[in-house]
C-alpha cells in the first residue's frame, strides 16, 4: 500500500513539474513574440516646492524588424481661444471666440534616430495630424486645421506639445527583440494629472502592436497645501493672501524706517 502511494505521489509531482515547465516555456516564448514591451523608471512624479520639470527614463523592447514610437498624452479638455484678426483693416487683435473640444492637454511624440518624419503619419495614429480627427471645433464653421495648427504652435512654446526626433536609441538584439531606451522630457508646464505613455511598434508602414503605461503627476508639499486651500476654501485663502501681503509690506516698511535710510 505504502509503495503504491509513494509511486502515486511521485507521479503527481512529476506531472506538476511538467505542467509548470510547459507553462513557463510558453510564457517565455509569448514574451519573445510580443511585438513591443515598455517599462517606465517610475509611474508617479511628485511636484514639490522647487520643481522645475524633470525627465523620465523609459526602456523596452520591440521586434527586431519593427520601429518604435513613444507617445505621451494626457487629459482631454476643452480650450477656449481667441483667433486674431484685422480690425479696421490695420489693427491686429483678438477677434473671434473659438473652442477646441476634446483636445489633449499634453501631446509629445518621440521617434527613433534616422526615421525623420517617416513615422509621423495620421494613418498610424501618430503625429499632430492624427489628433485632429478626435477634436471638435465650435463654431463649426471655423477652419479647424488652421486653428489647430496655430494652437499647436502656442503649446509648443511651453513644451507640452512636442515632436522629439532622433530621441529613441536602439540597443542589443536577442530572441528577435531589440532593446530601446529614451529619456522623456517632462516640462514644468505639464500640470498634475493622469497621463499615458504609449509605445507603438511599426513595421512596413503598419502598426504591429502597441502597449501603454500610466504616468501620474501629483502635487506634493507646499504646492499641494496651497492648491488645496485655494480651491477648498477660496474666501479664507483670499483674506489670508491679503493679510500676509499687508504684513510683509508693514514689516519691510518698519525695517526701512529702522535702517533710517529713507529720511
- Binding interface with other proteins (CB under 8 A): 47-53, 79-84, 87, 90-95, 97-98, 146-147, 150-151, 153-154, 157-158, 188-189, 191, 219, 222-224, 226-227, 230-231, 234-235, 237-239, 241-242, 244-246, 248-250, 252-253, 256-257, 261-263
Q: Which is nearer to other proteins, 133 or 261 (CB)?
A: 261
Non-local (6+) Cβ contacts of 164 within 8 A are 108, 109, 110, 111, 185
Q: Which residues pair with 139 in a beta bridge?
A: none
Nearer to other proteins, 44 or 173 (CB): 44
Residue (170 or 237) nearer to other proteins, CB: 237
C-alpha cell at 5: 502511494
Instruction: Please state the closest distance from residue 133 (CB atom) to other proteins, in A.
Output: 20
Q: Which is closer to other proteins, CB of 97 or CB of 176?
A: 97
Residues 197, 22 contacting (CB under 8 angstroms): no
* Closest alpha carbon to 154 in 198, 113, 116, 98: 98
Least Å distance, CB 139 to other proteins, is 13
CB of 127 to other proteins, least distance (A): 20
In the Cβ-directed half-sphere of 159, how many Cα atoms lie within 13 Å? 12
Q: Which residues, including other chains, have CB under 8 Å from residue 150's CB and lie 6 or more apart?
A: 83
Q: Supply the minimum distance, in Å, between the C-beta of residue 162 and other proteins.
A: 15
Amino acid at each position: 500500500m505504502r509503495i503504491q502511494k509513494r509511486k502515486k505521489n511521485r507521479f503527481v509531482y512529476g506531472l506538476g513539474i511538467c505542467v509548470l515547465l510547459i507553462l513557463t516555456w510558453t510564457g517565455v516564448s509569448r514574451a519573445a513574440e510580443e511585438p513591443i514591451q515598455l517599462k517606465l523608471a517610475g509611474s508617479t512624479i511628485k511636484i514639490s516646492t522647487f520643481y522645475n520639470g524633470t525627465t523620465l527614463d523609459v526602456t523596452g523592447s520591440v521586434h527586431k524588424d519593427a520601429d518604435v514610437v513613444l507617445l505621451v498624452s494626457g487629459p482631454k479638455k476643452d480650450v477656449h481661444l481667441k483667433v486674431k484678426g484685422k480690425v479696421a483693416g490695420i489693427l491686429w487683435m483678438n477677434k473671434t471666440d473659438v473652442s477646441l473640444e476634446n483636445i489633449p492637454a499634453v501631446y509629445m511624440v518621440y521617434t527613433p534616430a534616422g526615421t525623420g518624419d517617416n513615422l509621423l503619419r495620421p494613418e498610424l495614429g501618430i503625429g499632430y495630424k492624427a489628433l485632429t480627427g478626435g477634436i471638435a471645433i465650435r463654431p463649426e464653421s471655423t477652419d479647424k486645421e488652421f486653428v489647430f495648427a496655430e494652437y499647436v504652435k502656442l503649446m509648443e512654446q511651453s513644451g507640452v506639445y512636442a515632436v522629439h526626433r532622433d530621441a529613441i536609441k536602439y540597443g542589443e538584439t536577442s530572441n528577435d527583440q531589440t532593446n530601446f531606451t529614451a529619456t522623456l522630457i517632462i516640462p514644468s508646464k505639464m500640470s498634475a494629472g493622469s497621463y499615458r505613455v504609449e509605445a507603438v511598434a511599426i513595421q512596413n508602414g503598419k502598426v504591429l502592436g502597441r502597449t501603454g503605461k500610466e504616468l501620474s503627476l501629483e502635487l506634493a508639499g507646499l504646492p499641494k497645501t496651497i492648491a488645496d486651500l485655494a480651491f477648498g476654501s477660496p474666501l479664507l485663502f483670499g483674506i489670508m493672501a491679503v493679510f500676509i501681503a499687508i504684513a510683509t509690506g508693514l514689516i519691510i516698511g518698519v525695517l526701512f524706517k529702522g535702517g533710517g535710510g529713507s529720511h
